[in-house]
Amino acid sequence: MDTVASLSPLRHGHPSSSSPASCNTSRPSPWLLKLKQRSLISSSNSLPARPRAWPPRASASASSAATPPPPQQQQKEKDLVFVAGATGRVGSRAVRELIKLGFRVRAAVRNAERASSLVQSVQQLKLDGNAAAAISPSEKLEIVECDLEKQPQDGIVEAIGNASLVVCSIGASEKEILDVTGPYRIDYMATTKLVQAATAAQVEHFVLVTSLGTNRIGFPAFLLNLFWGVLLWKRRAEEALIASGIPYTIIRPGGMERPTDTFKETHNLVVAMEDTYVGGLVSNLQVAELIGCMANNRRAAYCKVVEVIAETTAPLLPMEQLLAAIPSKREPPAEDETEKVKSIANG
């Protein structure tokens, strides 16, 4: 049975006391979005605590078989970006960077009431140039309730809507160290569901944030893999995205736990080919800024796997130049098709 969830706006940064499913508002805030949410029994999809066999590796044929026929072609909006994991450390910063660049963002969250800090941070943004004169920052943000673990695929497709670009920065919480199935369920299964939905929605580009060491485990990356094989499951998600046929960029950042947002003042970004590093540090903000650069330069980011760290000895170079130096795994389309994004996003 279909139910319609009406999300109440957050006033003065505090969540409404009413539940999202029961509160109706006559004047929703600019970022409010109503979505149909279908009931789903998810217990049949749960993973046993100790699976005996891994799922088969992704292939192009398997991906197409698992994905339902695409819906009727809809015109994608070049300036609209869907961000999964929008309240996370990378995701929230990516939302703000995209809005500062002139993009509109659909921020996918499990619970809209927990997005109050994200909404507040966007409201405080100071936009420059044409974007500031045309629209306020909060009007460029839509909060979308979308639980990738529980939502059926058609619900995820509906949440993506006409977005031309999907950014995925989800991951199992390292705080839930006793959750044996977390990396499998979130880093692999939930990410793969989003890839399949993005394929059905016919998005034009998919940016996936994973980690150093997904395909070359060494010290200290192997220590992270002790968290229930998280690097192995992230690699499976990478394989699913590559096999999907969607134009993609995979970002493998170094450790982001310790560096603060001021890290870039002393450490310059390094963008390298895949399987170059097994260790290194980079800040969440630097990764978010790189995501914004990719959204604005999709040709330079087309079908690439990049590893990202920051070093004091690295030269300070434009991100576009760093991206352009990495070879693409597929021939990019004509330049005029991807470079249109810049003029649209910049007003």
What's the pLDDT tens digit per position in 116-144?
999 999 999 988 765 555 678 999 999 99
Question: Which residues form the domain of 315?
Answer: 29-34+75-345
The answer to whether position 303 is within a domain reads: yes
The verdict on residue 312 lying in a domain is: yes
Residue 126 counted as domain residue: yes
Q: In the beta sheet, which residues pair with residue 311?
A: 268
**What residues in the chain have per-residue pLDDT under 70?**
1-74, 129-134, 175-176, 178, 217-228, 335-347
Residue 135 confidence (pLDDT):
79
288-297 tens-digit pLDDT: 999 999 999 9
In this predicted structure, what is the pLDDT of residue 312? 98
Q: Tell me if the pTM is above 0.85.
A: no
The 10s digit of each residue's pLDDT in 232-267 is: 999 999 999 999 999 999 999 999 999 999 999 999
Q: Is residue 246 part of a domain?
A: yes
Residue 245 domain-assigned?
Answer: yes
- Count: domains in the chain: 1
- Rg of the chain's alpha carbons, rounded to an integer? 19
CATH number for 312: 3.40.50.720
Does residue 48 fall inside a structural domain?
Answer: no
In a domain, 285, yes or no: yes
Would 134 be classed as within a structural domain?
yes
Using the structure block, give the residue that is written with the tokens 């890839």.
195
